[in-house]
Amino acid sequence: MFSHNKRLQYTVRVDEPNPALASLLLEQFGGPDGELAAAMRYFTQGLAEEDPGRKDMLLDIATEELSHLEVIGSIVAMLNKGAKGDLAEAALEEAELYRSLTAGGNSHTQAILYGGGPALTNSSGVPWTAAYIDSRGDPTCDLRSNIAAESRAKIIYERLIAITDDPGIKDALGFLMTREIAHQKSFEKALYSIADNFPPGRLPGKAPYDRLYVNASTGPGDTEGPWNSGPEWDRTDEEQMSRPIDGGEGMAEVALPASQMKTVETMMLRTASDPNSDPLTGVDLAAGPPVDAE
């Protein structure tokens, strides 16, 4: 059961309308790392969660994300409020109204199609999609994804804070950014509360490939560190890469029934290339006279 409290979770003050900024803020309303995506990700995970502690945490955070959606949506609506009124009442001359609506981003789309209210799109006008929800139903996998999602959202809030000088908006965005940090802490604590949390899932990796680092990018800038060297790693370098890792021939093989093998051989004969031919082609016919190399 849900109950809506008409007070926002955090007080929002906007100094002046700014439709272009409103469009940019939509990234955190209907974007892939926005508040709606977070709420839906954690709700669906929480509903399927068997562990009572994680279930409670996920539903708590999911519900809070909806309150954050309300905060960011309220900011967008207030930034669009002046343009909404001007458009609805045709208060400006045509050219002046057009310039104000097309000041930046897709602010004109917000004003005309959605009446200045927050649309479920990202900052480029791309509609929100459930494809943003990347849950897999394994807590060690999903919690890592949640940690990454909160990290990405935190960075986006930092960048949004950097592009506005409105103190009220900066303050509210700073609150939302800080809650991303708190949620990341909760998810990390929940992840490490699972005794065997790596690797994700039930099956262990196949030895010795679970400790193999393939140094496939070689040349200037080749660097060693704890991610590829040390007691936890067996390293394969450039001179070893000509051999298959498993010690086999490195060929792709399939066992076909005799009937299918016959049809495959027939097809191979029918489509075989003649390496001794040099056919005249459209490229030859269309080419001009040869250019002498200087």
- Residue pair 107/83 in contact by the 8 Å Cβ criterion: yes
Chain centre to alpha carbon of residue 143: 15
Nearest to 86, CA basis, from 75, 97, 94, 78: 97
**Taken in order 25, 152, 49, 9, is the CA torsion positive or negative?**
negative
- At 236, give phi and psi (nearest 5°): -110, 120
Q: How many CB atoms lie within 10 A of CB 149?
A: 23
> Which uninterrupted H or E stretch holds 97?
helix 94-101
Summarised one tens digit per residue, pLDDT across range 106-137 is: 555 665 555 667 889 998 889 999 999 999 99
pLDDT > 50? residue 290: yes
d(C-alpha 148, C-alpha 154), whole Å = 10
Q: Per DSSP, what are the bridge partners of residue 234?
A: 212
Q: What is the mean predicted confidence (pLDDT) over 160-175?
A: 97
User: Residues of CATH 1.20.1260.10 domain(s) within the chain?
Assistant: 19-192
Summarised one tens digit per residue, pLDDT across range 195-238 is: 999 999 999 999 999 999 999 887 888 899 999 999 999 988 86
Summarised one tens digit per residue, pLDDT across range 44-92 is: 999 999 999 999 999 999 999 999 999 999 999 888 876 555 555 554 4
- Residue pair 82/17 in contact by the 8 Å Cβ criterion: yes
Nearest to 12, CA basis, from 172, 189, 165: 172
Architecture of the domain spanning 19-192:
Up-down Bundle (1.20)
